[in-house]
Amino acid sequence: MVKFCVLCTKNRAVLKRPKTAQQVCKDCFFEVFETEVHNTIVDHALFKPGDRVAIAASGGKDSTVLAHVMKTLNDRYKYCLELFLLSVDEGIAGYRDDSLETVKRNEVQYGIPLKVVSYEELYGWSMDKIVKEIGTKNNCTFCGVFRRQALDRGAVLLKVDHIVTGHNADDIAETVLMNLLRGDIARLQRCTLIRTATDDLMPRSKPFKYTYEKEIVMYAYFKKLDYFSTECVYSPNAYRGYARAFLKDLESIRPSAIMDIIHSGEAYELKQEVQESLPKMGACERCGYMSSNKVCKACVMLEGLNQGLPQRGVGGSASSREEKAKREARRKPKLTEEDASSQKPFTFTNLQAQQ
Amino acid sequence: MELLFGGVKEFDVTLESDPQPRLRDLIAHIKANLLKGKPELFVQGDTVLPGILVLINDSDWELEGGIEYELQDMDNILFISTLHGG
């Protein structure tokens, strides 16, 4: 028995939308998918005409679809944005080098210029080298911290006004769950924002915040978009895996769970005394990047790696890390002349002065 | 996902059963005969792992009855994993 699309009632339905449970045909699906992203962009006033926007692109499903949709919407609705692809090479053999080939193809397919920044260039450490040093636990912590900075640095070099990332509704719901499970109150408060706060160096937003992962994959499939689909070789031990498995089970019983979790996350408001006890955002003493501590996480980690003490800055729960940080602050060792001269010369304060 | 199947992306499968085989039977057949990797990365109980999408002749299996769908001759069943970075 053929099911017809509930929107146009003419064509055969090919997809049941998890967001709305509607049965839609291919063309109607493309239309609602693209229009919803457009509405998200407009409702939250993410861009203004003339903005230079870097699309964080990994070659994976989300960022490839994001690049395609951004280009489509920019042309269709005349956002007048100048688009760029920005890619980070973490130095993971057999994973990142392959997915970068995909981004290079995307550059040609979508006609959007590409810039690649690498951990090796920026920090002197590739992820493969880091994992050799620290083993397979906590790698994602290093990678996440380094990648965030790497994207910002790349964006500054491109002289863009804004970064967009392909984080989708599933990702954000997972993050809410993760932060809840780990007691990470500061992140819990921020993680559902569609656009990062204004005191950030480089604003970044998530046009796919309300877009289901299943729909992104189906869009890419039906549009025959070229993307790379393998799991990072180091991810099996990531904590996020547990939140993801849980979320997927929840979704299979009640698909709206994903949107509902985001909605719950958006509604969180911290108690005043908790809010006041959170560290304030400042700038790192060493490189000038934003940090809620005197020295930013990336500098702490790099220092640890360079000194052969790679566990510095990782591990433990939020509360135990807080305690540990207080203890370390009381007996902080002085940075020697030798350490200072071995630091990479690239700093944010330098870069901002150059602009 | 082809890594779970020894690098093979496509299989021609013939199932015979009386009554008509259903998708759940295909999944059981795949688990028993074609899967080279860990089963828990493909199946969960009777069905596929949540996060693996199933298309029957380019159409969402949720429109066709999920694991109860009755397989027809020359049906094209596609499994797409969403469980990787974006």
Q: Which pLDDT tens digit goes with each residue over A122-137?
A: 888 899 998 888 888 7
**Residue A289 · residue A201 · CB < 8 Å:** yes
- Enumerate the residues of chain A whose CB falls inside 8 A of the CB of residue B55: 221
Pairing of strands A82-89, A52-56: parallel
Q: Which of A17, A78, A55 is nearest to A206 (CA)?
A: A55
List own/partner pairs for A134-143 with CB under 8 A and 24 or more apart.
A134/A310, A134/A311, A134/A314, A136/A234, A136/A237, A137/A237, A137/A315, A138/A311, A138/A314, A138/A315, A139/A234, A139/A237, A140/A234, A140/A235, A140/A238, A140/A239, A140/A240, A141/A313, A141/A314, A141/A315, A142/A301, A142/A314, A143/A90, A143/A234
List of residues 6+ apart from A174 with CB closer than 8 A: A240, A243, A244, A247
pLDDT for res A139: 83
The residue ranking higher by pLDDT, B61 or A284, is B61
**Residue A260 · residue A271 · CB < 8 Å:** no
pLDDT for res B5: 87
**pLDDT-derived band at B70, boundaries 50, 70, 90:** very high
- Enumerate the residues of chain A whose CB falls inside 8 A of the CB of residue B86: 58, 60-63, 166-168, 171, 213, 216
Residue to substitute from A2, A12, A15, interface B, most B β-carbons within 10 A: A15
Report the Cα A255 to chain-centroid distance in Å: 23
B15 touching A, CB under 8 A?
A: no
Q: Nearest C-alpha of chain A: how many angstroms from B3?
A: 9
pLDDT for res A340: 42
The answer to whether the CB atoms of A14 and B60 lie below 8 A apart is yes
Q: Where are the beta strands (DSSP E) in A174-325?
A: 204-205, 282-283, 290-291
Chain A and chain B share a number of CB contacts under 8 A equal to 61
Q: Nearest C-alpha of chain B: how many angstroms from A64?
A: 8
Q: What is the pLDDT of residues A245-280, one digit of tens each?
A: 999 999 989 999 999 999 999 998 888 888 888 878
The residue ranking higher by pLDDT, B13 or A269, is B13
Q: Residue B85: which of A14, A15, A231 has the nearest Cβ?
A: A231
B9 touching A, CB under 8 A?
A: no
Q: Which of A92, A158, A86 is nearest to A119 (CA)?
A: A92
B55 touching A, CB under 8 A?
A: yes
The residue ranking higher by pLDDT, A325 or B46, is B46
The residue ranking higher by pLDDT, B3 or B26, is B26
DSSP notation for A310-335: TTTT--S-HHHHHHHHHHHHHTPPPP
Peptide bond into A113 cis (omega under 30): no
DSSP classification of residue A137: S
B76 touching A, CB under 8 A?
A: no
Q: What is the pLDDT of residues A65-86, one digit of tens each?
A: 999 999 999 999 999 999 999 9
**What are the average pLDDT values for consecutive 10-residue runs of chain A, which has 355 residues?**
90 94 96 98 96 95 96 97 95 84 94 94 89 84 88 91 95 95 88 78 91 96 90 77 91 93 90 82 83 86 82 58 59 45 47 42
CA distance linking residue A211 with residue B50, whole number of Å = 18
pLDDT for res A342: 44
pLDDT for res A180: 93
pLDDT for res A34: 98
